[in-house]
Chains A and B, each alone.
Chain A
Amino acid sequence: MIDRDTALKVQALLDGELSANEAAEVTRRLEHDPEARQIYNELELTRAVLLRCEPEYAVPESREFYWSRIRQGIESGERSGAAPESTWWRGWTRWLVPAGATALVGLFLLQRSWLMPQDDAAAFSSDHQVETLLAEATSISFRSESAGMTVVWVQGGSPNFFESNE
Chain B
Amino acid sequence: MSAKIDYASAADPILVRAAQRGDLLAFEELVARHRDKVYSRAFSILRHEEDAVDMSQDAWIKAWQRLKQFQHESSFTTWITRIVINLCLDHLRKQKRYQTQSIEVLEAESGGVEKQFPVEIPNPTERLERSELRQRIDRALAQMSVEHRTALTLLEYEQLEYKEIAKRMNCSIGTVMSRIFYARRRLASLLAGLKREDYQ
Interface residue? B82 (CB, 8 A): no
Sort A-B residue pairs by CB-CB distance and give the 8 closest, nearest first: A73-B61, A55-B138, A57-B40, A7-B114, A53-B133, A38-B119, A52-B199, A59-B39
Q: How far is the CB of B177 from chain A (nearest CB, A)?
A: 5
Hey, which chain A residues are within 8 Å of B156, CB to CB? 47, 50-51
Given A67-B32, A74-B24, A74-B64: A11 touches B141 (CB 8 Å cut-off): no
With A43-B184, A46-B187 as given contacts, are A55 and B196 in contact (CB-CB < 8 Å)? Answer: no
The size bracket of the interface on A is 35 or more
What CA separation (Å) do A4 and B90 show in the bound complex? 31
> Known interface pairs A67-B32, A70-B61. Does A42 touch B177 (Cβ–Cβ under 8 Å)?
no
Task: State whether the Cβ of B146 lies closer than 8 Å to any Cβ in chain A.
Answer: no
In the bound complex, do residue B64 and residue A53 qualify as a contact, i.e. CB atoms below 8 Å apart? Answer: no
Answer yes or no: A15 CB below 8 A from chain B CBs.
yes
Which secondary structure dominates chain A's binding surface? helix
| Residue B56 lies at the interface, judged by CB distance under 8 Å to chain A | yes
Interface residues of A in 11-31 (CB under 8 A from B): 11-12, 15, 17
Min Cβ gap A131→B in Å is 44
Task: State the majority secondary structure of interface residues on B.
Answer: helix
Residue A63 interfacial (CB < 8 Å): yes
B76 within 8 A of A: no
Q: A45-B188, A55-B137, A59-B39 are in contact. Are A17 and B114 (CB under 8 A)?
A: no
| A66 contacts chain B at the CB level, 8 A cutoff | yes
Question: Is there contact, CB below 8 Å, between B185 and A42?
Answer: yes
When chains A and B are docked, how far (Å) is the Cα of A162 from the Cα of B137?
Answer: 68
Closest to B90 in A: A86
Is the beta-carbon distance between A69 and B162 smaller than 8 angstroms? no
Assess the B39–A42 pair: CB atoms within 8 A: no
CA distance A7 to B58 in the complex (A): 39
Do B44 and A57 touch across chains, with their CB atoms under 8 A apart? yes
Least CB separation from A74: chain B residue: B64
